[in-house]
Structure 1
Amino acid sequence: MSRALRQFFRIPPTALLGMAVVLGYAVVALFAHWIAPFGESEIVSSQYDPWGGAFLLGTDNIGRDMFSRLIYGARNTIGIALLITALSFSVGGLLGLFAAVRGGWVDMVLSWIVDILMAIPQLIYALLLLTIFGTSIPVLIAVVAVLDSTRVFRLARSVGMNVVVLDFVEAARLRGESLWWIVRREVLPNVLPPLIAEFGVRFCFVFLFISALSFLGIGIQPPLADWGSMVRDNATLITFGDVTPVLPGLAIAILTVAVNFVVDWVLGKASGAKS
């Protein structure tokens, strides 16, 4: 126990703050149904009611409680972003390590496909594919996960190439171990620290990307609450000096900064850097 406490007190204050914020967001996302005073799409009053009284942060453009929508937005935006990031790492990470270990024409073909997908900006690809296939949640998850997996592939392949040339990997090849065994037992454990840190970074990018798509109207669709669409729906208030449209953007910014604090600490530990 004393050793665990010593390790805990060695964590930088910024990382502790980031962990606390991320934990707070996770609690709000998981228990949104019990925390929110009103339903996600429930119309409770007239449009643009001021702050105070029964409506802590007023109401939106059609009379829904802004505070409740912010809470449900945490569940929807964070949950979908986390699912997309996990899926993109499962696909891009495994394919990147497979390309690094296998080499040859397999590595060449996979790298060509990734280069083609990365040649056009991600937002343009997403706009095109979501316009063609629709904006349902499964389609949104699949499209963004595939596009984001290209970035994960490049990183996994890069760090994997540094490992596959080491002696213990060559010894595993000579023993006749299967390709999957080498990836799972020899390569993956040695590339986990940078991949874990990259997971946090990619989550932030996906999180911001989904919010941008929702702001443009092709992300998470109504009546589901989403922070990006909440900024768009209430943007009119900015012309009257009302800061309500800023709140969803502030929620996005705080979570992004908190995750980056934690990622910086993880990268420092992985590289052996001293605080």
Structure 2
Amino acid sequence: MTGRIFAALRTLPASGRIGLALVILWLLIAALGPVIAPHSPGAFVDESVFSGMSRELWLGTDYLGRDVLSRLLWGARYTVFLALGAAMLAVVTGTSLALVAAIRGGWIDEVLSRSMDTLTSIPSKIFALVLVAAFGSSLVLLLVIMAVIYVPGNFRIARALAVNLISLDFVQVARARGEGTAYIAWREILPNMIHPLMADMGLRFVFVVLLLSGLSFLGLGVQPPLADLGSLVRENISGLSEGASAIIVPAIAIATLTVGANLLIDALKPGARS
């Protein structure tokens, strides 16, 4: 297993290795950030607001005199893990529905496909804004909303893959043996869809990061006293002229996370996705 991982890493182009390094970096920051943060995210560490970078405060302070570095390390956890959880939930849900639709066919396929088309027709940001405004913002609600928004996209991809695989001989043999829907889905079809589905989950992750950051920038995402990367940009926007690091650094964090994930996805060889 380890040999396969190193072999795959050697085949990655330079852009893919850069993307992998950025993704691993932000995963480590999200996991270990609260442990290595020099201060509590809500602690007032300086009487001056938007103070500059110094030896004690590497990224300066925000609009309330709190340590920007500490809040960045804590905020990365919500951005990364919420986006990762929503992407995984969207892929699991969309793929499960796609397998049922492709294998059973008929009216089940028609109902599921038209339902997904209906969800796709609703603009994602408007859908999220309406639900957040109606039910309030919470971490669980944000997770569910973002997962639901990106289920249709995964459903279409997974269904197309499953429909192509159903016509192959090994699936027909399994049906001739009298195997049920669950066996055919999970033992015959799904293992042959793993690579493209993993690439799709990476794309969903990027989309969720951008959507979550946009919602937080509008004040409808992660709510105080918690903060994610988008919240850090929004709450310090008034100090752009005097405390630029409090705004620019979280924005760079969002950019490096999404660009790194995109570079890694793009570097995957087409042959590895089949």
TM tier, shorter chain?
Answer: over 0.9
Aligned to 2:106: 104
Aligned to 2:23: 22
Q: Give ranges in structure 2 of 5+ residues lacking alignment.
A: none
How far residue 11 of structure 1 moved from its aligned partner, in angstroms, is 2.4
Aligned to 1:9: 10
1:163-213 deviations in whole A, cap 9, x for unaligned? Answer: 112222122112111101100011111111111111111101111111111
Given candidates 73, 80, 84, the residue that maps to 2:75 is 73
In 2, Cα distance between the equivalents of 1:162 and 1:3?
Answer: 28
Instruction: Give the conservation status (yes or no) of the 8 Å contact 1:193–1:267.
Output: no
Structure 1 7/228 Cα, relative in aligned 2: closer, same or farther at 3 Å?
A: closer
115-124 or 50-59, which deviates more: 50-59
Which residues in structure 2 correspond to 1:130-209 (within 5 Å)? 130-209=132-211
Q: Please, what TM-score do these two structures have when normalized by structure 2?
A: 0.93
Instruction: Give the conservation status (yes or no) of the 8 Å contact 1:118–1:150.
Output: yes
How far residue 239 of structure 1 moved from its aligned partner, in angstroms, is 4.1
If asked which structure has higher relative contact order (CA below 8 Å, sep 6+), I would say 2
In 1, Cα distance between the equivalents of 2:40 and 2:17?
Answer: 33
1:90-145 deviations in whole A, cap 9, x for unaligned? Answer: 11111012111111100100111111111110110010111111101111111111
Q: State the one-letter code of the partner of 2:137.
A: T
In 1, Cα distance between the equivalents of 2:175 and 2:253?
Answer: 49
260-269 or 95-104, which deviates more: 260-269
3-12 or 166-175, which deviates more: 3-12
In 1, Cα distance between the equivalents of 2:20 and 2:201?
Answer: 15
Q: Show structure 1 runs of 4+ deviating over 3 A.
A: 1-8
In 1, Cα distance between the equivalents of 2:148 and 2:6?
Answer: 41
Aligned-residue CA RMSD (Å)? 1.9
Structure 1 184/271 Cα, relative in aligned 2: closer, same or farther at 3 Å?
A: closer
Instruction: Give the conservation status (yes or no) of the 8 Å contact 2:50–2:243.
Output: no
Aligned to 2:215: 213
Partner of 1:169, secondary structure, is helix
234-243 or 214-223, which deviates more: 234-243
Q: Please, what TM-score do these two structures have when normalized by structure 1?
A: 0.93
In 1, Cα distance between the equivalents of 2:245 and 2:270?
Answer: 37
Aligned to 1:116: 118
29-38 or 263-272, which deviates more: 263-272
How far residue 237 of structure 1 moved from its aligned partner, in angstroms, is 2.1
243-252 or 60-69, which deviates more: 243-252
Instruction: Give the conservation status (yes or no) of the 8 Å contact 2:9–2:17.
Output: no
How far residue 33 of structure 1 moved from its aligned partner, in angstroms, is 2.1
Residue correspondences, number: 272
Structure 1 77/271 Cα, relative in aligned 2: closer, same or farther at 3 Å?
A: closer
In 1, Cα distance between the equivalents of 2:248 and 2:211?
Answer: 18
Given candidates 32, 48, 51, the residue that maps to 1:49 is 51
Instruction: Give the conservation status (yes or no) of the 8 Å contact 1:60–1:66.
Output: yes
Instruction: Give the conservation status (yes or no) of the 8 Å contact 2:206–2:258.
Output: yes
Instruction: Give the conservation status (yes or no) of the 8 Å contact 2:71–2:227.
Output: yes
26-35 or 113-122, which deviates more: 26-35
What is the percent sequence identity of the aligned residues?
A: 41
How far residue 10 of structure 1 moved from its aligned partner, in angstroms, is 2.7
